[in-house]
Amino acid sequence: MFYCLFLGFSCTFGFLLTGKWIGQFIFQNTLAGSFILILSWICPFLYLSTTLTSVLHGLGKPGRAFYINMSGCTLRIFFIYALIPTYGIRCYLYGMLAGELLTTFLSFLALLRFARKKLQKNSLL
């Protein structure tokens, strides 16, 4: 988890420093630069949620990982359906961030719950 967060925050920092430049010089669009700045905050949670979901699969909990991923997708779909028509494309980016935050948080809670059950089971033996 440490290395996922390290890599994610390194990418966030890199995109925060160069996002406007990338938008202006590569895409010739300042709006693209502001979108890159918003998307930069997704990096740590994207790396971490992928890793935690993979750990859940490895522990034999693919059903739990499925429901966690579906909850993140449902939140993104809510942002698309309910907020984009009123507030525009930025809400899609915020929905992506919220979906990744939710997926990361629920995966972390599922792993904590799994670890507690294992510790309790081992202490009873």
Half-sphere exposure for 13 (CA within 13 Å, toward CB)? 6
Instruction: Give the pLDDT confidence score for residue 118 in this predicted structure.
Output: 85
- Write down the pTM of the prediction: 0.88
With beta carbons less than 8 A apart as the criterion, state whether 16 and 40 touch: yes
Reported as a single tens digit per residue, the pLDDT across 5-30 is 999 999 999 999 999 999 999 999 98
Compute the chain's Rg from CA coordinates: 18
How many CB atoms neighbour CB 25 within 10 A? 10
Reported as a single tens digit per residue, the pLDDT across 47-98 is 999 999 999 999 999 999 999 999 999 999 999 999 999 999 889 999 999 9
Reported as a single tens digit per residue, the pLDDT across 96-118 is 999 999 999 999 999 999 999 88
